[in-house]
Amino acid sequence: MTTAQRVNELSSITIAILMLTMSAVGFFLIEEQTTEREHLAVKEMPRFATSPGHSVFGEYVGAHWCGPCMDSAAPSLVNLKSSNGEDFTFVSFYESESGGWPSDGPIYRTDHVMAASSGYPTFAFADAQSGSCYKVGSVGTDYYDADYEAGGCMSSDVSEYAMELSTVLNSAGDEVTITVEVTYLGSSALVVVYLYGAVTEQIGGDAYDNGNRPHHNWREWLLNSNDNGFEELTLTPNNVAERTWTVPLNTVRAAGGNTQLENFWPVLALMDGPHASYNTFLSAVDLDMIPLVDIGVSDFQVENQNGNLGFVPGDILDVSVEITNNGV
């Protein structure tokens, strides 16, 4: 075999090896891209609880060292509030590593919630002390969803009460005025209710041992003029009752990326009795929540009869509207 023949043979072998190598590289690249697409296709989407159609209120007690508190209860409350913030709110009473338990007198709500509990975490929907709405322990990250969806043990008359909440920072930037408006929409000549009120941190200034933070972390009560209980209101149909409080902004701390003002988070609720008793809860509100309207537009579509995507004067449009009953 001549030298030229050997060179030609080697060149042919080299070209064949290069072709096989390039094909293999292309195959692995395609396989890698396909695998990536498969991973993207099965990405878990967030879950949302089904709204009961009215406000739901609860109270939580937990501690920085408590495993089920930091791993399950706190994330469950954050997830439920994040997905259903328009009609769910709560107040957290939390033992921090640096400050211990909060001094929550004269209402002493921590002891009130824990009266029937055997440990932490404890969560009570609507002042419950037993049954499915009184939760001791927690598993998973959606532990409270089912009871929220079932109505959270709120009053059957919850649709007869409307609450609106607003806050205003003063010009000096050091005090916040909280205003709540309550309207009774029922048929009784008058009703007497009590206005549960708390200033919380939307994101707690103290963290659990794993770095999670309690939300709606209690900081101060909104009390009556005697500072010994919640405000008592006498309501008559379709008349607005208004109450205001002025609270120092430094009642709360900046945390979790929130400024102090962003973290200033009042939570209010209506009860049918004073704080010393276990009551029926009638409504609740925080700054995320807006009054529910009985009738709403759930779908709206417009189609041009001539098939164009847009329209100009003189076109005939077909309008389709879907109305949903949001009432209870």
Q: Does one domain contain both 202 and 255? A: yes
Q: Does one domain contain both 307 and 267? A: no
CA distance 45 to 24: 35
For residue 122, being part of any structural domain is answered with: yes
Most confident of 30-44, 153-167, 283-297: 153-167
Q: Does one domain contain both 249 and 201? A: yes
Per residue in 215-231, pLDDT (tens digit) is 999 999 999 999 999 99
Q: Is the predicted pLDDT of residue 75 greater than 80, yes or no?
A: yes
How many independent structural domains does the chain possess? 3
pLDDT band at 323 (very low <50, low <70, confident <90, very high): low
- pTM comes to 0.76
Residue 206 CB-density burial (10 A; 0-12 exposed, 13-18 middle, 19+ buried): middle
CA distance 328 to 325: 8
For residue 51, being part of any structural domain is answered with: no
Q: Does one domain contain both 88 and 200? A: yes
| Higher pLDDT pick, 292 / 143 | 143
Q: Does one domain contain both 85 and 36? A: no
**164 DSSP β-pair partners:** 181
Whether the Cβ atoms of residue 208 and residue 92 lie closer than 8 Å to each other: no
Q: Is the predicted pLDDT of residue 328 greater than 50, yes or no?
A: no
Q: Is the predicted pLDDT of residue 20 greater than 70, yes or no?
A: no
Per residue in 104-142, pLDDT (tens digit) is 999 999 999 999 999 999 999 999 999 999 999 999 999
For residue 48, being part of any structural domain is answered with: no
One-character DSSP codes across 42-96: TPPPPP-PPP-SS-EEEEEEEETT-HHIIIIIHHHHHHHHHHSTTTEEEEEEEEB
Q: Does one domain contain both 314 and 265? A: no
Strand pairing report for 88-95 and 56-63: parallel
* Residue 52, φ and ψ in degrees, nearest 5: -75, -5
CA distance 49 to 51: 6
For residue 178, being part of any structural domain is answered with: yes
Structure tokens at 114: 């824990």
Strand pairing report for 161-169 and 175-184: antiparallel
Whether the Cβ atoms of residue 278 and residue 289 lie closer than 8 Å to each other: no
Q: Does one domain contain both 113 and 230? A: yes
CA distance 50 to 151: 10
Residue 161, sorted as left (phi over 0), alpha (psi -120 to 50) or beta, turns out to be beta
For residue 50, being part of any structural domain is answered with: no
Which CATH number goes with the domain that contains 121? 2.60.40.10
For residue 10, being part of any structural domain is answered with: yes
Q: Does one domain contain both 14 and 94? A: no
Q: Does one domain contain both 180 and 299? A: no
**Helix/strand/coil for 210:** coil
* DSSP conformational letter for 69: I
**Helix/strand/coil for 163:** strand
For residue 224, being part of any structural domain is answered with: yes
Whether the Cβ atoms of residue 268 and residue 280 lie closer than 8 Å to each other: no
CA distance 88 to 315: 45
Q: Does one domain contain both 131 and 249? A: yes
For residue 268, being part of any structural domain is answered with: yes
CA distance 182 to 93: 26
Q: Does one domain contain both 181 and 273? A: yes
**175 DSSP β-pair partners:** 248
**Helix/strand/coil for 308:** coil
| Higher pLDDT pick, 65 / 10 | 65
Q: Does one domain contain both 180 and 320? A: no
The residue segments making up the domain with residue 65 are 56-286
AA identity, residue 319: V
**Helix/strand/coil for 11:** helix
